[in-house]
Amino acid sequence: MGLKAKIYRLLRSTQTVSQAVAVLTIFTFLSKILGFVRDIFVAMFYGTSANLDAFIASQTPPGLISGIFAGSLATIFIPLFIRYREEENEEYARRYATTMIYSIAIILLIFSTIAAIFAPQVMKVFVPGFSKEKLAKAAFFLRMISITAVFNGMITLLNGLLQARKRFFSYSVMSLSSNIIVITFLVTLNGSLGIMAYVLGYIFGLGSIMTGLLLMSKNFVKPRNVDWHHPGVRESIMLILPLMISSTVAMINIAIDRIFASGLPTGSISALNYAVRIRSIPISLFGASVYSAVYPSIAAAIAKGDQNSLSNTVRRATSLLAFVMIPVTLSLIPFSSWVVRVLFQRGAFTAHSTAMTSSAVIFYSIGIFFVSVNVILVRIYYSMKDTKHPVIYAVFAIGGNILFNFLLIGPMKQNGLALSTSINAMIFFTLAYFGLRKKGVKLNLIDVKYITLTLLASSITLVSIYIMRYYLGTRLLITTVQVLCAVGIYLLISSVFKTFRLKAVMNRLRRGK
């Protein structure tokens, strides 16, 4: 068997839940490394400049468009596909998947075209505080990247289709290739094209992911499989309408934040974007791997009415998230400046940029754990075909974000926007958790003993960090040593407390016990 055939066979292979967690974690880690290499070059070339502010702002409309349609459909796509495959047959499920993918592609193409035609008016809505010059730049960039709404939508649904068939490998590999493309564009074309090197890399990077996933799904997305009269189309429409708010709450909140930030000093939008990148490290590297891998198990448990399996699976997943997210949150308080300096402070990214970004990182970090767990809670609702309550909670979250942004932006600038985001993640968590309990779903979400010991281990580690910083200082090299020591201390204490037993937890997670 040739190398090409071996690679193709590997990409099309299926994985169990435990294998999926391993695959997603490893490849997400590699993708994150390349992602940060990309961000390092972005920071070095563009810093927190007006051009970068304009380009980041222009990404909001396409992201919101794809999130509203493809993002909301993706939440119900896996459960419906699995159900149709089990209750009907493979062909029935295949026709449903193909029809929905083509439908969303057409809808997204229409909206992205409208966004490109009316780009100045669209950007005026999203960044009303921009000057005329920055607004014109943002409109130009929007016309360039509006097609990425289609790319993102197709990526979301095709990845969902592959996940439903327990193929977690393809998207991970495609993500790596996308980052390589963006980095290549930045390194080779920045000197001659400036910010346009990043714009073109962004477009071609997303296009490469979509193309790769299409190749991996070609047997399921053939035009001949389209069936506009498929019963699943009507069922999806009935379920998707309420999801258009709740599933896009994150993008809506980002849009709201950028509306507020557009009136702040130049660089504020870029600083918030860098801060979000740093916050996404644990969420993307570990959190996404956990809840992506357990989602099919959650959907299956709900379909079978197995409350015990559902509760135990979710509790184990939450424990895994807590083990990583709690110490990360506490550690980012003293180490945020170090993280930003190591990752970004070079070239056009100055000490002033570091100060703007690191302070926002601290306030974003407060909500890391809640953001991760909220994804699991929302998918439980959707697997139960309850779209009403997540919509209500999402509306509260959006309203709360506007309120807290208004209250905090004056005294805290961009930091107030970051803190508002974290506060609303906590509000959503509280509403969603107690909402499930009212529905009779007793998840036993929190393993009190485990969380308490994790908090204690994290607190002891934090104290040790401050002791080291008091006696050793905060120079870059010394801080690097302190970070490594802090990780070792946390793992050692966790071993003593018997909370660091990753293999045992993963085995239980896989078995749902």
Dump pLDDT digits (tens) for 264-305. 988 899 999 999 888 888 887 777 767 666 777 787 778 777
Helices (H), 388-442: 388-412, 414-438
pLDDT band with cut points at 50, 70 and 90 for residue 422: very high
Residue type, 82: I
Q: What is the pLDDT of residue 8?
A: 46
Residue type, 171: Y
Q: State the average pLDDT over residues 210-222.
A: 80
Per-residue model confidence as pLDDT tens digits over 298-317: 877 787 777 788 888 888 88
Q: What is the pTM of this model?
A: 0.76
Q: What is the pLDDT of residue 168?
A: 65
Residue 112: is its pLDDT beyond 90? yes
Per-residue model confidence as pLDDT tens digits over 393-413: 888 888 888 999 999 998 998
**Distance, CA of 291 to CA of 314 (rounded, Å):** 9
Q: What is the pLDDT of residue 21?
A: 58
Give 372 or 114, the one with higher predicted confidence.
114
pLDDT band with cut points at 50, 70 and 90 for residue 225: confident
Residue 1: is its pLDDT beyond 70? no
**Distance, CA of 60 to CA of 251 (rounded, Å):** 8
Residue 373: is its pLDDT beyond 60? yes
Please give, one letter per residue, the 3-state secondary structure of 80-134. HHHHHHHHCCHHHHHHHHHHHHHHHHHHHHHHHHHHHHCHHHHHHHHCCCCCHHH
Residue 512: is its pLDDT beyond 80? no
Per-residue model confidence as pLDDT tens digits over 52-74: 999 999 999 998 888 888 777 77
Q: State the average pLDDT over residues 183-196.
A: 94
Residue 440: is its pLDDT beyond 90? no
- Which of 254-259's residues contact partners 24+ apart within 8 Å by CB, and which partners? 254/60, 254/63, 255/60, 255/64, 255/126, 256/398, 256/401, 256/402, 256/405, 257/401, 257/405, 257/417, 257/420, 257/421, 258/56, 258/57, 258/60, 258/126, 258/127, 259/126, 259/127, 259/128, 259/129
Angle at 365 between CA 361 and CA 371, to 5 degrees: 130
Query: Which two structure tokens, joined as six digits, stand for 46?
Result: 């563009």
Average pLDDT score over the chain: 82
pLDDT band with cut points at 50, 70 and 90 for residue 10: very low
Location of structure tokens 């099309």? 12
- The three-state secondary structure class of 136 is helix
* Least confidently predicted of 96-110, 448-462, 476-490: 476-490
Please give, one letter per residue, the 3-state secondary structure of 317-351. HHHHHHHHHHHHHHHHHHHHHHHHHHHHCCCCCCH
CB 442: neighbour CB atoms within 10 A? 11
Query: Which two structure tokens, joined as six digits, stand for 217?
Result: 């799904």
Residue 11: is its pLDDT beyond 60? no
Residue 196: is its pLDDT beyond 70? yes
**Distance, CA of 9 to CA of 1 (rounded, Å):** 10
